[in-house]
Amino acid sequence: MRTFGIGVFFLAAAATCGYSQQWEFGGVGGAAFLNSAAVSSPLGAATAGFQQGGTFGAFLGQNISAHIAGEIRYEYMQSNLELKSGNATATFSGVAHAVHYDLLLHTNRRHSPVQLFAAIGGGIKYYMGTGAEAAYQPLSQFGYFTKTSAIKPMVDAGGGATFAMSKHVFLRTEVRDFITPFPTQVLTPPNGVKYARLLQDIVPMVGISYMF
């Protein structure tokens, strides 16, 4: 592991040689589409997860070389919790905050006003149940909504394109997949009930950035 880290350090150092580094900051907005986790229960079939919701974020990036960039990002995601079984649905207000660092591999911006990029990174996602807890909750045999929070490790990957609107201003379109363990502290399965482990959040976004 130590050897790998040293190798990455020297690779990054070599990539920066002879390249004038540039900084970029911007904002993005879009919609989150989360998968539902299958519920394993002796009481019947159900799914647990989150509803579609809006996403807003900001990022600060550095172009390390002609083809490699690094970005630190933040996203605010409004996604209500949801339990479904047959025609019955139960919901609970919720939000999430994601903080992560990504590496981007992109085509050379010096040569074309339209660039494609791929991204991969990791960080944390902070889930929060924000609704009002009640003594009775529909579908409680499959899970309990709680007004609490959970921090989960997160891996993200995706890609997109940037379009030069001027020398310093860029339009960005992208799709990201945020992957975390299921936050069972926020949507809690009862005894004898289990949820699928991973939760995926597919987020298409559009944004504007400024490079300097």
Domain, as residue range, for 170: 21-211
The pTM score is 0.86
Both tokens of residue 163?
Answer: 């379009």
Examine residue 56 and state whether it is found in any structural domain, yes or no: yes
Identify residue 35 by its one-letter amino acid code: N
Examine residue 128 and state whether it is found in any structural domain, yes or no: yes
Model pLDDT for residues 132-184, shown as the tens digit of each residue = 988 889 999 999 999 999 999 999 999 999 999 998 999 999 999 999 999 99
Examine residue 4 and state whether it is found in any structural domain, yes or no: no
Model pLDDT for residues 65-102, shown as the tens digit of each residue = 889 999 999 999 999 999 999 999 999 999 999 999 99
Examine residue 14 and state whether it is found in any structural domain, yes or no: no
Examine residue 184 and state whether it is found in any structural domain, yes or no: yes
Q: How confident is the model at residue 10 (pLDDT cuts 50, 70, 90)?
A: very low
Instruction: Report pLDDT for 22.
Output: 86
| CATH of residue 89 | 2.40.160.20
Examine residue 144 and state whether it is found in any structural domain, yes or no: yes
Examine residue 8 and state whether it is found in any structural domain, yes or no: no
- Is residue 148 classed as helix, strand or coil in its secondary structure? coil
Examine residue 203 and state whether it is found in any structural domain, yes or no: yes
Q: How many domains does the chain have?
A: 1
Both tokens of residue 20?
Answer: 């004038």
